[in-house]
Amino acid sequence: MKKLFLLTALAVAVLGKAAFAADFPITAFIPAATTVNFVVSQVTPGPVPVFVNQPSLNLNFTTAGTGMSYDAVNGIWVGSRFFAIDLAPTQANGTPAPGTYGSITFSYAANVVPAGQAAAEGLNKRATLTAVRVNANATETSLRKGAIGNAFANLTNTDVAGGFLRVYVGLATGETGANAIPGSVPFTNADKPGTYTGTLTITATLT
C-alpha cells in the first residue's frame, strides 16, 4: 500500500512538472522578399494629362509616321507624349503600395544617334527623367530630376514612404526656372534628323 502511494505521488509529481513545463515556442519567419511592380502609362499632355496603360516597355515619344513636331515659338522639336512608370506592387485589394525593395536605381545605355550627330548628343541629354513620390492624396512630391543620361539616382523605400514611386520619362522641353531639368537640352534644328534611341534600366533590390 505504501509503495502504491509513493508511485502515485511520483506520477503526480512527474505529470505535474510536465504540465508546467509544456511551453511550446512558436516561431514564424517571413524572408525579406523583393517585389516590385512596373506599370507603364503613356501620358498625353494637356490641361488634364491623360494616362493610358501601355503594355509595351518600348517608349516612343512620337506619333507613328509623323515624328516630332516643331515648336516655332521656342525653336525646338517636341514629342507628342511622355510616359509615367509606376513602381509599386498592388496589394490584395488592388491598392498601390511601396514595394519591399530596398533601393531603386536607374541607368541609361545604348545611346543611338543618326550619322553626323555627336555620340554624346542623343537622348542621354535630350530625354529627361523625373522621379516623384505619389502621396496618398494623389499629390506628387518631387524627388529628383535630370537628363536621362545622368539618371543614376538611388531611391530607397524611405524616399517613397507614405506613397509610391513614379518616374516620368519624356523629351526635354527647355523649360527654365523651377521647371528646368538640369543637364537636359531640347532638340533643335542644329540636331541631325534621324533616329534617336536608348535603353533605360530600372533595377530593384534590397539594401
Taking only Cα atoms into account, the Rg of the chain, rounded to an integer number of angstroms, comes to: 29
- Considering the complex, what minimum distance in angstroms separates the CB of residue 45 from other proteins? 13
- Per CB under 8 A, does 127 bind other proteins? yes
- Per CB under 8 A, does 150 bind other proteins? no
Dihedral sign for Cα atoms in the order 175, 176, 181, 182: positive
- Per CB under 8 A, does 90 bind other proteins? yes
Site string for other proteins, 26-65 (x = CB under 8 A): -----xxxxxxxxxxx-----xxx-xxx-xxxxxxxx-x-
Q: Are 105 and 188 in contact (CB under 8 A)?
A: no
- Per CB under 8 A, does 70 bind other proteins? no
Those residues whose C-beta lies under 8 Å from the C-beta of residue 78, and which sit 6 or more positions away, are 68, 69, 70, 71, 171, 173, 186, 187
Closest CA to 84 of 108, 125, 52, 124: 52
- Per CB under 8 A, does 123 bind other proteins? yes
User: Cα–Cα distance between 99 and 87 in angstroms, integer?
Assistant: 7
Piece of 8-16, 18-26, 82-90, 172-180 that binds other proteins (CB under 8 A): 82-90
* Contacts with other proteins, residue ranges (CB under 8 A): 31-41, 47-49, 51-53, 55-62, 64, 67-68, 79, 85-86, 89-90, 94, 96, 100-103, 105, 110, 112, 123, 127, 138, 148, 154, 156, 169, 171, 194-207
